[in-house]
Amino acid sequence: MKVGIVGAGMVGSAAAYALAMQGIASEVVLVDKDADLALAQAEDISHAVPFVSATTVRAGSYRDLDGTFVVVLAAGVNQKPGETRLELLGRNAAVFREVVGEVLAVSPDTLLLIATNPVDVMTHVATRLSGLPARRVIGSGTILDTARFRSLLGRHLGIAPQSVHAYVLGEHGDSEVLAWSNARAGSLALVSFADQVGKPLTEEVRAAIDDGVRNAAYKIIKGKGSTYYGIGAGLARIIRAIALDQRDILSVSIVTPEVVGIPEVALSIPRVIGAAGVLSDLMPELDVAEVSALVRSATILKESADSVPL
Ligand code: ADP
């Protein structure tokens, strides 16, 4: 399966590396307006491939994206000093206007996987610009926040994160909602499991895990400037579900007709992912506080998406 990646910066290259290391794609093509960067990243990653897989990794132009099954959009610009969030959004929307048109001109049947932040709003923008059905324009959303949530819960309970079933909903960002009330360890309610193993989920423990999930990116950025390995692996995880038509349930963002009473909003809830993109949505059962937090998150995202000049 051929995968395209537009934007060969930190996130795009981390996704290419994760795809190549897991042998998920037969071919990965990196495109960037900085052609030298795309070439250097492709060369570097391709030198790791002989140790593990047979994936071809190369740099190319938009023309080389013909026949791609999925194209990751990781292109974007960084915030300038003094620039407002809305101005930045406007500039990233302009990048997407150019990029989405170029990609669809050569690969009209591709799925789009959006990684550029703010990812929910950019997913909304890409959906509008592309005219593709919403289930074929998928934002990485809270895939990483969900992984962080599971990993911190697993660490507290002394079990593998893969055995924790818990999701982060809403915005990939400050207003995200950790869904505690329906979380499970194996098939047991999380609270029962925690009590059984003598590691109760006290208010203190919950607050520490909430902080660890919500502020993870800020802490990483403080230490090393940006985050990319985690999201790179998250993008590869979504592409694996698509490539193998796995029907995995992952928390990703698409424009959804209605969530908690808010119409036409791009945010994350658990969704079934297969070769056609998002196959169905799962609205989790939440407690009253979680519902109101999700309404708040959806409202923020809706207002933000509506304000982007297209
Ligand atoms: P991140 O950490 O999100 O990956 P980077 O700045 O490292 O951020 O990467 C963003 C990449 O997007 C850069 O390599 C940049 O050259 C690329 N880019 C920006 N605008 C465009 C565009 N219009 N077309 C293609 N690539 C673009």
- Enter the tokens of residue 92: 């990233």
- Enter the tokens of residue 54: 């047979």
Q: In angstroms, rounded to a whole number, what is the distance separating the alpha carbons of residues 287 and 305?
A: 27
The pLDDT tens digits for 120-168 are 999 999 999 999 999 999 999 999 999 999 999 999 999 999 999 999 9
Mean pLDDT of 161-180: 97
Mean pLDDT of 245-269: 98
Q: In angstroms, rounded to a whole number, what is the distance separating the alpha carbons of residues 88 and 91?
A: 5
118 marked as binding residue? yes
Please report which confidence band the pLDDT of residue 309 belongs to, taking 50, 70 and 90 as the band edges: confident
Instruction: Express as a percent the part of the chain with pLDDT over 90.
Output: 92
Please report which confidence band the pLDDT of residue 80 belongs to, taking 50, 70 and 90 as the band edges: confident
Q: Phi first, then psi: what are they for 263, rounded to 5°?
A: -85, 155
Tell me, what's the pLDDT at 126? 98
Tell me, what's the pLDDT at 153? 98
Tell me whether the omega of the peptide bond preceding residue 270 falls within 30 degrees of 0, making it cis: no
pTM over 0.95: yes
State which ligand 1 atom lies nearest to the alpha carbon of 77: 19
Tell me, what's the pLDDT at 88? 85
160 alpha carbon to ligand 1 midpoint, in Å? Answer: 35
Give residue for tokens 């934007």.
7
Q: Half-sphere exposure of 258 toward its Cβ, with a 13 Å CA cutoff?
A: 2
Instruction: Express as a percent the part of the chain with pLDDT over 70.
Output: 100
Ligand 1 pocket check for 61: Cβ under 6 Å: no
State which ligand 1 atom lies nearest to the alpha carbon of 116: 3
Q: In angstroms, rounded to a whole number, what is the distance separating the alpha carbons of residues 57 and 53?
A: 11
State which ligand 1 atom lies nearest to the alpha carbon of 95: 23
Cβ pair 17, 80 in contact under 8 A: no
Chain mean pLDDT for the chain? 96
Taking Cα atoms as reference points, which of 274, 280, 279 lies closest to residue 242? Answer: 274
Please report which confidence band the pLDDT of residue 235 belongs to, taking 50, 70 and 90 as the band edges: very high
**CA distances for 135 relative to 109, 252, 268, angstroms:** 13, 11, 13
Residue nearest to atom 8 of ligand 1 (CA): 9
Mean pLDDT of 83-111: 93
120 marked as binding residue? yes
Does residue 47 carry a catalytic annotation?
no
Tell me, what's the pLDDT at 297? 97
Ligand 1 pocket check for 224: Cβ under 6 Å: no
267 alpha carbon to ligand 1 midpoint, in Å? Answer: 23
Residue extent(s) of CATH 3.40.50.720 domains in the chain: 2-139
CATH topology of domain 2-139: Rossmann fold (3.40.50)
Ligand 1 pocket check for 34: Cβ under 6 Å: yes
What secondary structure, in 3-state letters, does 79-137 show? CCCCCCHHHHHHHHHHHHHHHHHHHHHHCCCCEEEECCCCHHHHHHHHHHHHCCCHHHE
Cβ pair 192, 211 in contact under 8 A: no
Cβ pair 229, 11 in contact under 8 A: no
Q: In angstroms, rounded to a whole number, what is the distance separating the alpha carbons of residues 14 and 233?
A: 7
Mean pLDDT of 235-243: 98
Tell me, what's the pLDDT at 23? 95
Ligand 1 pocket check for 76: Cβ under 6 Å: yes
Pick the CATH number of 142-307 from 3.20.20.70, 3.50.50.60, 3.90.110.10, 1.10.10.10: 3.90.110.10
Tell me, what's the pLDDT at 79? 77
Please report which confidence band the pLDDT of residue 81 belongs to, taking 50, 70 and 90 as the band edges: confident
State which ligand 1 atom lies nearest to the alpha carbon of 37: 14
Taking Cα atoms as reference points, which of 58, 54, 62 lies closest to residue 25? Answer: 54
pLDDT at residue 102 above 90? yes
Residue extent(s) of CATH 3.90.110.10 domains in the chain: 142-307
Query: Roughly how many angstroms between the first and final C-alpha of the chain, as a whole number?
Result: 32
Ligand 1 pocket check for 11: Cβ under 6 Å: yes
Q: What is the largest CA-CA distance in the chain?
A: 58
Q: Phi first, then psi: what are they for 24, rounded to 5°?
A: -75, -40
133 alpha carbon to ligand 1 midpoint, in Å? Answer: 25
The pLDDT tens digits for 181-216 are 999 999 999 999 999 999 999 999 999 999 999 999
The catalytically annotated residue of 47, 124, 156, 172 is 172
